[in-house]
Amino acid sequence: MNIPLKINKYSLNTIGETYFLNIRFLLIVCVVAGNLLEPLIQQSIAAHHLFVWIFSFHMPLFVLVTGYFARFNLHGPAGSQMLRHIALQYVLFQSIYSVLDYTIFRVPHITHSFFAPYLLLWFLAGHIVWRLLLISLRMFTFKQQLIVSLVLGLSVGLLPVDGVWLALSRTLIYFPFFIVGYHLHVDKIISFFQHYRRSIAIGSIAFMILFFDLNLPLVIGWFYGNQTFVQLGVNSETGMLYRLCMYMLQCVASIGFLALVPIGAHYITELGRRTLYVFLLHGLLVRAIETTGILHRFNTPLEIVILLVFAILVAVLLAQPQVKHWTSRLVEPSIPQPLYSMIHYVQRHTLFQKQS
């Protein structure tokens, strides 16, 4: 049975959780699809356009959704426990992916270091920083936090360091979306999409078609968000202007995607509770497939559609409860008791105490 869409104080949290779980699963499908399409963007126009479309919204929205769910466990013991678990996941999977890449995958231009997150693992490193930054800005109003985050996002490209180190570039570029997600009013956004869903979806699709039709000479690195202005080949003023334009493009594309997401309970709602498993495990499958070279045989529109269907199947299968049962000790490892005792003082640190 679908959750009723009439919003009241008793159903608001349930409706919000349902809607954002739906968003989260559809986004993880896009993540899987994007990683499968990436090797083809130089040889297939269809793959390139789909890849750019996905990258115009999937990371901003994923960060926004992460910010939304962070409101429930940002402060206090729950907040410090979450930070420990994210850090442990990062260390564990950074080790796994690095060893496999060094021995099997051999992805070009990869730096093997705990200070250079392996591909998609930048999100875990970023998640830690977003939480710490938001806690440090807790005395500021939402508008002040947003202004600070935008200044950081616009200016990070000026730093004279490679953007991949500590995932600093992506982390600061996407920080504004984390802020927005944390403060988002669920009732307002759901009411907004209930009234204007169709017109927003049509308008966003038309905008993206126009964007692709203009064939702007935009370097794909702007969508990755992991490069400095120097690496992107622009000066400081042009770089900040381009980044501001990217923010506007991402907002339009994100709103258009949100208009397509079902608000009420759906089959995908429960799958949305286990997207962490899809996120951390699908990369192993994608890299294994890529080493066979089979992905480069996909060129025609029909073959691209087949690849998208495969991405959906991968996301659905990895989000099954059986996968969680088999891999929970790997994906959600418990912290060893000696280590837990050593860092238990963090729970009492004022940084994690919610201000009254």
Q: How many other β-carbons are positioned within 10 Å of the β-carbon of residue 354? A: 10
Characterize 286-295 residue by residue with b for buried, 16 or more Cβ atoms within 10 angstroms of its Cβ, and e for exposed: bbebbeeeeb
State how far the Cα of 284 lies from the Cα of 93, in Å rounded to an integer. Answer: 10
Share of the chain above pLDDT 90, in %: 67
Confidence of residue 354 (pLDDT cuts 50, 70, 90): very low
Q: Which one is predicted more confidently, 354 or 56?
A: 56
Arithmetic mean of pLDDT over the chain: 88
State how far the Cα of 184 lies from the Cα of 48, in Å rounded to an integer. Answer: 32
pLDDT of amino acid 280 = 97
Element (H, E) at 309: helix 301-318
CB 158 within 8 A of CB 228: yes
Hunting for tokens 């959780």 — which residue is that?
A: 17
- The residue count for the chain: 356
Each residue's pLDDT tens digit, 151-175: 999 999 999 887 778 899 999 999 9
pLDDT of amino acid 348 = 53
Inform me whether the pLDDT recorded for 288 exceeds 50.
yes
Amino acid 122 reads W
State how far the Cα of 350 lies from the Cα of 347, in Å rounded to an integer. Answer: 8
Each residue's pLDDT tens digit, 99-151: 999 899 887 778 788 889 998 999 999 999 999 999 999 999 999 999 999 99
Inform me whether the pLDDT recorded for 235 exceeds 60.
yes
pLDDT of amino acid 193 = 87
State how far the Cα of 232 lies from the Cα of 163, in Å rounded to an integer. Answer: 11
Inform me whether the pLDDT recorded for 351 exceeds 80.
no
Each residue's pLDDT tens digit, 301-347: 999 999 999 999 999 999 999 999 999 999 998 876 545 554 455 44
Confidence of residue 13 (pLDDT cuts 50, 70, 90): low
Q: State the angle between helix axes of 12-37 and 275-292 in degrees (0 to 180), rounded to the nearest 10.
A: 10
Inform me whether the pLDDT recorded for 77 exceeds 60.
yes
Q: How many other β-carbons are positioned within 10 Å of the β-carbon of residue 85? A: 14
